[in-house]
Amino acid sequence: MRTTQGLSCVCELVRYVVGSIPLDTIHMFWRRLSFSYQGLSELEVSMTKEMETISKRFEKLDVCGKLTLKSKLWEISYPDLNSICPPPEKVKTKYAQKKLMTKHQRSTKRDPSYWEYVDALHSVQNNNSSVKRSVSSSEQAIPRRIMPMLDQFHPCIHDFIKNIVDVKAYGNYGYRAIAALLGISEDSWCLVRNYLLKELGKWSDEYINLLGGIDRFEELKRSLLVDGLSMVTMDK
């Protein structure tokens, strides 16, 4: 929704349950929509200015641009005509050689649409889940594994948390957490910093634009420079 429609996704809307949604979070396209009747009350409607603008733009275009614009105007001017051409040779539809086909190939029944496949899949899953519930209801429920510090996370995501790793809480615990999630030892936190430093150097121009200037880029670059395995100071 954020990328394709310019609207807030569900994870962002959760923050505005109590209050109203700020207009800054909505794309300008949706904020400039107008529902007024301006122009509908005019007695005469003219498109002289628009035609002059199109004519001026047509003169500034190259040959390819002129052909493209002309083709679009041609479709508007002659809506009864189209660009579909007849086949160069007449296709014989009678007395064609019959091929041996199975009953499935001769069938005129259409293939199910994507949504019909999804509906069928959900119905099967719901039926299976109902059967599993009826069978498992008689069995003893398996107790959930107790994880430390689970109460520090929001209750709505408790069911999605599979494991909690308590990394060492000094200096580089953020990088230690990333290293543990990557499957390497949390003591390899310096590798994460080096990879981030290489990332900044490889795409420096893009990150300068993203961070808003060279000063912020250099500040972030200096924060990733750590000597050896020493503890990180406050300026990092």
Q: Looking at 20-169, list the stretches that DSSP marks H as alpha helix, in order from N- to C-terminal side.
A: 28-31, 48-60, 63-77, 103-106, 114-137
Average model confidence (pLDDT) across the chain: 76
29 and 69 assigned to the same domain: no
C-alpha closest to that of 146 among 133, 163, 134: 163
7 and 62 assigned to the same domain: no
Q: What is the structure's pLDDT at 101?
A: 67
Most confident region among 25-39, 94-108, 195-209 by mean pLDDT: 195-209
> Which residue segment(s) compose the domain that 201 sits in?
147-236
C-alpha closest to that of 180 among 166, 162, 199, 196: 166
Q: Rounded mean pLDDT of 190-219?
A: 88
**Is residue 194, in this structure, part of any structural domain at all?**
yes
Unique residue bearing structure tokens 């543990």: 180
234 and 154 assigned to the same domain: yes
> In degrees to the nearest 10, what's the CA dihedral of 8, 11, 15, 17?
80
Separation of alpha carbons 189 and 221, rounded Å: 16
29 and 56 assigned to the same domain: no
194 and 162 assigned to the same domain: yes
**Is residue 174, in this structure, part of any structural domain at all?**
yes
**Is residue 113, in this structure, part of any structural domain at all?**
no
DSSP secondary structure, 153-198, as one string: S-GGGGGG---------SS-HHHHHHHHHTTS-GGGHHHHHHHHHH
**Is residue 190, in this structure, part of any structural domain at all?**
yes
Q: Which two tokens stand for residue 42?
A: 């005019």
Report in angstroms the alpha-carbon separations of 170 from 148, 214, 230.
Answer: 19, 30, 11
At 27, which amino acid appears?
Answer: H
**Is residue 223, in this structure, part of any structural domain at all?**
yes
**Is residue 157, in this structure, part of any structural domain at all?**
yes
182 and 235 assigned to the same domain: yes
**Is residue 99, in this structure, part of any structural domain at all?**
no
C-alpha closest to that of 189 among 176, 205, 171, 203: 176
Q: How confident is the model over 49-99, as pLDDT tens digits? A: 889 999 998 998 888 888 888 888 888 887 776 656 666 677 676 665 666
**Is residue 169, in this structure, part of any structural domain at all?**
yes
Q: Which two tokens stand for residue 90?
A: 């007449």
Q: What is the structure's pLDDT at 35?
A: 59
pTM: 0.32
Question: How many domains does one find in the chain?
Answer: 3
